[in-house]
Every structure is written in structure tokens, then in C-alpha cells.
Amino acid sequence: MRTRVYNLTGPAVRRLHTVPIRTSPWLWRVRQARTTHSRHASTQSSPGPKPFYITTPIFYVNAAPHVGHLYTMVLADILKRWRVLQGEKALLCTGTDEHGLKVQQASAKAGIDPKLFCDKGAAIFQDLAKKALITNDHFVRTTDREHTDAVEYAWFLLKEKGYIYTGNHEGWYSVADEAFYPESAVQPFIDPPTGRKIMTAVETGSEVEWSSETNYHFRLSTFRDRLLDFYRANPEWIAPEHRMKEVVQAVESGLEDLSISRPSERLTWGIRVPEDPTQTIYVWLDALMNYTTKAGYPWAPDREHAGGWPADCHVIGKDIVRFHCIYWPAFLMALGLPLPKKILTHAHWTLGGSKMSKSTGRVVDPFLALDRFGPDVMRCYLAHDGGIQDDSKYDNIRIIAMYNKFLNQALGNLASRVTRGKKWSVRGAVERIGPWTAEQWSHEGSGARFYQNTLAKVPEQVAQTLNAYEPRKALFLIAEFVRGSNQFFQMSAPWNKILDFGPGKPGEEVDKIVYLAAEALRMHGILLSPYMPNKAKMLLDQLGVQESRRTFEYCKPGCDLDYGNPMIDVGAKYQGALFPPLPSEE
């Protein structure tokens, strides 16, 4: 058995001075797994095009989720559903971060085994995803065996390539953030409830304490120039733009090597350093690898892209930008792996003027919110009011106002009046007016203008915006489309233009108005399906749109002439209404 000797001083010599390599049971197991994977892959057909792959961060299980976690999930799910709507294969990964000192302390406080504590926490986040209609294809847990294997394999490669070394580390450490901070990133603070003087991280406000220990380090400083070159070559890699500038400035000011392990005597709950059980892998190196785990890392030959890697988009909160936009690309560069194509960062939700935080208890319970307003309404509200650049204030009054003014009075009202009209037929209007050509719509008149300036243009504008990873801006466009359609129908007043003769044939003018309004509703249903999947389905069912024609391919006027017969009972008054009045207002 070969050994490697590390140049350490103090107690660390007794712990780390002899480390067996290459012949360990761990390396044998990883190699066996890779060999089996390769043999299995070789019997399969060649993979098709790389699927679109989008991720959320993995969420800590040390406390219950709040509405900020739901917001991240919803943003990622909207973007994933949008890709599916365009006919792409798309994969969404979410999950839970289950290692680290925070989880270790939380499970100890709860008096239960850490794994059982994590099982309970992971189940809560899985329930939240299901309740919010999140279509995640993967739910990764950092306690999964496949994830542990991937992390250990990555560690082995980083060490073999010379990117890992051992040494003493001193600095300000935050248990809440699982991170060391340099002197420039901390500040003194007086805790209001106790009057205690503490040091806190400038970025997150978490308490930090001075720590000194011997552990492993990653040569982050050697990646400064490579990172800056990458940022210059990909100026829109991070959205929004101002966070890209902040990252560039941070890297330009210099990078220190990163501590990537903790003594196991202090951190027992985590993945032990391969061949050195006296050290536990730093939770952020462990956690960040989750994005590759469910994409199949380590990959068999010719299967690198089958699971979706490189990720097309990481959706993250602004408080973890440094980890994802500096540490993560450096790890990937060191491993020789392609970098994700986009990092979409969003701002926070505030409550009572402060950021929502599990540690302070200042949170909105997402389960209660979903129960009260329903998943479709909550998804719509979060997407519409949630901040990408700036923080947003969570407010139930805003949810109710959005429901009443937009969902009930605009979209719901238009759907009700068009589909329940007693003196016209949506199906008849589609049959008689649907075959018209664009040339026939070129004549002057409100209908022609609505056709040309709205129906023929807005869907493509929405598509461009969603393809640019701007779901909030896209929803604004859709909402304006809905309001404009409702206004067009109201001003056109087909009920005043109905011809008395010919039952079922109210006249060409009425047919044109009803057809244009129905086409608008059909497009509303398609465009809103990533945001409000259940309600969008209900709307399209009311219109009688076939399942195969609910994709973006059909989101243009005149491309579907087979709808108009409701698949469900459109009801009367509030029964069967798309968005009935809220109970308190009935």
C-alpha cells in the first residue's frame, strides 16, 4: 500500500500524515460503479439531443420551507414548462442539502438521528413541490449514495490534479451560512434583543465567529484569470446584469484559496474526505456537485450530455451568488467539465420590511398560502410580483387584488362571456371565420387591428422574453394581452349586433368578434400554462382545444380550426367559472 505524507504541523500531523491512496475500498467501489455504468451504457442506443436542464438550489432541511423557497421552485418550473411547451425535452432538478453543521446542530437539538431528521425534512420539501405543481424530474438528496459517490470521485480528481492541499486556516466562520468570510466581508453589530456585541457577515447578516483549524484547501486563487476570461466571453452569463458586475468586481479584487474540509471531530455529519476520515468535506463543495449528480456524473463514455449537462440554467437566490458564480465555475474548470450556460438570480421576499429567514422565524408558510389561494393563483402571484432585481414585499392584500382585478374581472370575465354566450356559438364562429386568410384581416377596423397588432404579435414577444429567462416580464406581457382582449370584447359589444334571423347564425360581425375573442382566450390558455397549469387546462377544456394542440406551435391565429365544443360543463353563473369570486365577496 502506498502512502502520501503531508507537510503539516501540530495535532494535524497525527491525524493526516499517512493517507492510503489508489488501493482503497472507496476507489475500487467507484471504479466498479463506473465500469458497470459504462457496460450498461454501451448496450443502449446513442443518446439523442441534450435535453434542456434547469435546476433550483438544494434547500437546507434544518427548518421548514418558507415562501421564498416556493418562489425559486416556481420560477424554475415555469421556465421548464415553457421549454416543454415549445416541444423540447426538458428536465428539472430540485432537492435538499442535508449535510453540514447547521443540520448536525438542528438534529441534535431535536434529539433524533441526523438521517431520520433529514428524511423528515426532505419529505416536507417533496410535498411542497407536489402541492405547488412543480414538475421536477429529479429530487436530489446529498445523503443519496449516488451523490456521495459523485462527490468522492470529484474530490479524487481534484486531488490528483494538484488542486487540493492541506494547511492551517483562520477566519470568520458563519455556522448559518456554512462559510468562512474575509475581514473585509464582516462587520460589528449589536444584537437588539440582547444588546450583545457580535460580528456578522455583511452579505447575509449571519453571525460569525473566529475560527482556526487545519484542513484541506482548494487552489481557488489560481482561477482568477480563467474566471475573468470566461466572464468577458459571456457577459450575460449572470442575470440580472448588475449581479454580473458585482461578481466580476469581486474576482478582480483577488481570490483567496478556499477551505474545503472541516475536522470531523467538529463536523461529524457529512461526507468524509476519501481516505482521510479525520476530515469532512466542506458542505458547499458537497452541495454544488448535486447539479451534476442527477445528470449522471461521473459519466460513461459518449454519455456526457444524456442527462442534460451542462445545465442550461441554475435558478438561485441572490444570497448564494458567490458560491454559484465564483466557486462553482472554478470547481468545474478544475474538473474539466463544461460550465452551466446561465445563472438566473432573483431577489428576496420581505415580510414586515425584513428578509424572510428561517433562522428568525420571519416567514410565510407556503403550505398555508397554497391552501388558502390554490397553487395556480400563488404561482401567478409569485411570478408577477416576485423581484428579480429588487426585493418584493409579500402581501396577502396584493394577492387578493390580483385575483379580483386580473384573474376574475379580466381573464375569468372574458372566458365566461365568450363560452357562455347564449346567442352565439364559439364553434360556429371558428367554422365560419377561422378559414379567413391574413389578407382578409388586413382591412381597416378594430377587429383587423386587434388581429394584426395583438394576436399576430404578442405570442412571439412572450416567447422572446421567456427565452431570455425573464418570466416576470413575460407574465406582464400576457396580463396586458388579457386586459386588452377583454377591452376589445367589451368595446365591440357583440350582444348589440346580433341579427334576429337565422338561429345559431348571429351574423358575420358577431362571428368575427367572438372568433377573435376565442382565439385570444385560446392563446391565453397556452401562454399561461407554464404559470397556472390547472387553470390554463380548464380554460382550454372550456374552449374544447385538443390536447395535442396546446403547444406554442399553435399559439398563432388561424392555426387551429377544430376547437369550439367544450370538453367540460362551462356551468352557469359561478358554477364552473374559471375564477369565481373569492368566498368573502360572494
Tens of pLDDT along 106-137? 999 999 999 999 999 999 999 999 999 999 99
Question: Please, which pLDDT band fits residue 69 given cuts at 50, 70 and 90?
Answer: very high
Decide: helix, strand or coil at residue 528: helix
Give 395-585's CATH code, choosing from 1.10.3720.10, 3.40.50.620, 1.10.730.10, 3.30.830.10.
1.10.730.10
Cell numbers of 298, please? 461521473
* Strands 349-351 vs 392-393: parallel, antiparallel or unpaired: parallel
Sheet containing 272-273: order of strands: 261-263, 276-281, 272-273
pLDDT in tens, 433-450: 999 988 888 876 779 999
Question: Please, which pLDDT band fits residue 46 given cuts at 50, 70 and 90?
Answer: low
Read off the amino acid at residue 126: Q
Determine the pLDDT at residue 585: 46
pLDDT, greater one: 4 or 560 = 560
Round the average pLDDT of the chain to a whole number and report it: 89
* Strands 343-346 vs 238-239: parallel, antiparallel or unpaired: parallel
pLDDT, greater one: 12 or 358 = 358
Give the contacts of 192 (CB within 8 A, at least 6 positions apart): none
pLDDT in tens, 404-432: 999 999 999 999 999 998 889 999 999 99
Q: Which helix (H) or strand (E) holds 401?
A: helix 396-402
Q: What is the mean pLDDT of residues 86-96?
A: 98
Determine the pLDDT at residue 579: 94
Q: What is the mean pLDDT of residues 338-353?
A: 94
* Strands 3-4 vs 349-351: parallel, antiparallel or unpaired: unpaired
Determine the pLDDT at residue 4: 33
By C-alpha distance, which of 325, 320, 346 is closest to 78? 346
Q: What is the mean pLDDT of residues 7-24?
A: 36
Q: What's the CA gap between 211 and 188, in Å, rounded?
A: 16
Give this prediction's pTM. Answer: 0.88
pLDDT, greater one: 338 or 178 = 338
Contact status, residue 453 vs residue 441, Cβ threshold 8 Å: no
Determine the pLDDT at residue 178: 66
Give the count of beta carbons closer than 10 Å to the beta carbon of residue 450. 26
Determine the pLDDT at residue 176: 73
Q: Tell me which CATH code domain 23-36+47-373 carries.
A: 3.40.50.620
Question: Please, which pLDDT band fits residue 358 given cuts at 50, 70 and 90?
Answer: low
Sign of torsion, CA 236 240 245 251? Answer: negative
Assess whether the region 23-36+47-373 and the region 395-585 belong to the same CATH fold: no
Give the contacts of 137 (CB within 8 A, at least 6 positions apart): 91, 92, 93
Q: Domain boundaries in the chain?
A: 23-36+47-373, 395-585
Decide: helix, strand or coil at residue 390: coil
Q: What is the 3-state secondary structure (H, E, C) of 423-456?
A: CCCHHHHHHHHCCCCCCCCCCCCHHHHHHHHHHC
